Amino acid sequence: MLAILNKNRITTTISIGLVTLFLATSCGSSKQKEIVGYPWDIPQTKPNRTLSAAMERLYDNYLTPRPEDNELFSSFKYTELKGFDYHNGDGTISRRDPSKIIFENGKYYVWYTKRDTETAPVGASKASESTENIPSTDWDLCEIWYATSKDGLSWEEQGVAIERPLLPQVGWRSVATPDILKWEGKFYLYYQGFMEASGKKGDHCPVTASYSDSPDGPWIAANKIIVENGDKGTWDQFSIHDPYPLLYKGKIYLYFKAAYGDRPDYLVGNGLAMADNPLGPFTKHPLNPLFNSGHETALFPFKEGIAALITSNGNESNTIQYAKDGVNFNIASVSALLPTAAGAYVPDAFTSNGNGRGISWGLCHFTDMGGPNKNYSILGRFDCDLSLDIYDPKMKNTNLFLKPEVYFSQKLSVEQLERIKKDKN
Ligand code: AAL
């Protein structure tokens, strides 16, 4: 009897059960040779032998042992977009946090946070210096704009979708980080509605919404909080960020993000609020938060469940996760260079048919473009193969080669350099 300890359970095997393969000898005799090592040709199903914890995990935790066969593994490729002007990168124009992309009227639509301010933001740490015209963070004093595209590479900015309403309405200070729902022929934009400059106390805001008969607007503001902050002392008491609606199991599943705990050691989790109607009432899932890591919400229907890109913040950064029930997520793969604030093209986001097909491209953002004094963000395109309908082996590469300049751009801080020098003496 041999007890095998692995991460989640103790398995007692009935016998050691080493895999035994028998090879005929070259002279055709019946003499057979026992191979006791792990087989050369990776078995697709868990072999009946004792395995190390890592090899147990390979079979227990992933859809397939090889990443190239894993429908929920992908590497990511990036392309610069055509059609957006950033005022020579002086920090006064910023576009960030793209919504998921939908296809309507023969073209792709995306909504995003746009800042067009007199100056670049002063930064969260100097938020007290912000004014009616000077933004604190990159997403302060913003509006929600939208753009359309025929090919997903060249975009035409169409104009503002959601302006900042007048004080004291929800979002008077800034409206940001939108996402889109199509429900019974109408369109619903959910977004963060700031009532103070972000950075002053934290990044505090609730979620509000507007609706329209057409993706081109005009948009009517619900003019109320759609997803309330949590009770005092709970993880989402201050912020409900990145509202992200999908239609799943016939209900509106609105995933969202909250940052909790005291900075700098704060955690970011994504939770879920559900409703039968787009303007609520929304009921938060009792198991929230549903993720222990991640940042901006990026999810899509996959088979009968929901898959998620978990980018940064937490022990499970850089993973792709899957929940058969849309609630209990597990790691489906570990990848690298995941798109930040991904807004994928999700053709079946609102079908609720229990047969999600996955994603293969979308938009994301790149922040901190102009350095501390000219901070702004740009939108870019990512491509991947997290789709059941394409097979692109070039997207299944776990051996990422990055140029030395990428590594050398990760610089030691002045304090770190001092510590290293001091340690030496
Ligand atoms: C983003 C999002 C939310 C935050 C800020 C703007 O990436 O998580 O939208 O409030 O940063």
Nearest atom of ligand 1 to the alpha carbon of 259: 8
CB atoms within 10 A of CB 297: 27
The dihedral sign for the CA sequence 353, 71, 324, 322:
negative
Token pair 């948009």 is at which residue?
A: 219
Q: How far is the CA of 296 from the centre of ligand 1 (A)?
A: 7
CB 138 within 8 Å of CB 375: yes
Q: Is 385 in the pocket of ligand 1 (CB under 6 A)?
A: no
Q: How far is the CA of 205 from the centre of ligand 1 (A)?
A: 10
What are the pLDDT digits (tens) for 77-132? 999 999 999 999 999 999 999 999 999 999 999 999 999 999 999 999 999 999 99
What is the CATH number that goes with domain 72-399?
2.115.10.20
Cis geometry, peptide bond prior to residue 218 (ω within 30 degrees of 0): yes
* Model confidence band, residue 31 (pLDDT cutoffs 50, 70, 90): low
Q: Is 242 in the pocket of ligand 1 (CB under 6 A)?
A: yes
Give the rounded percent of residues in the chain with a pLDDT score beyond 90. Answer: 83
**CA 73 – CA 14 distance, rounded (Å):** 34
Q: Which two tokens stand for residue 374?
A: 């000219």
Helices H / strands E in the chain, number of each: 3, 25
The DSSP output letter for 104 is E
Q: Which residue has the higher pLDDT, 313 or 149?
A: 149
Q: How far is the CA of 399 from the centre of ligand 1 (A)?
A: 31
Q: Is 270 in the pocket of ligand 1 (CB under 6 A)?
A: no
Token pair 């299944």 is at which residue?
A: 396
**CA 359 – CA 380 distance, rounded (Å):** 16
Q: What is the mean pLDDT of the chain?
A: 91
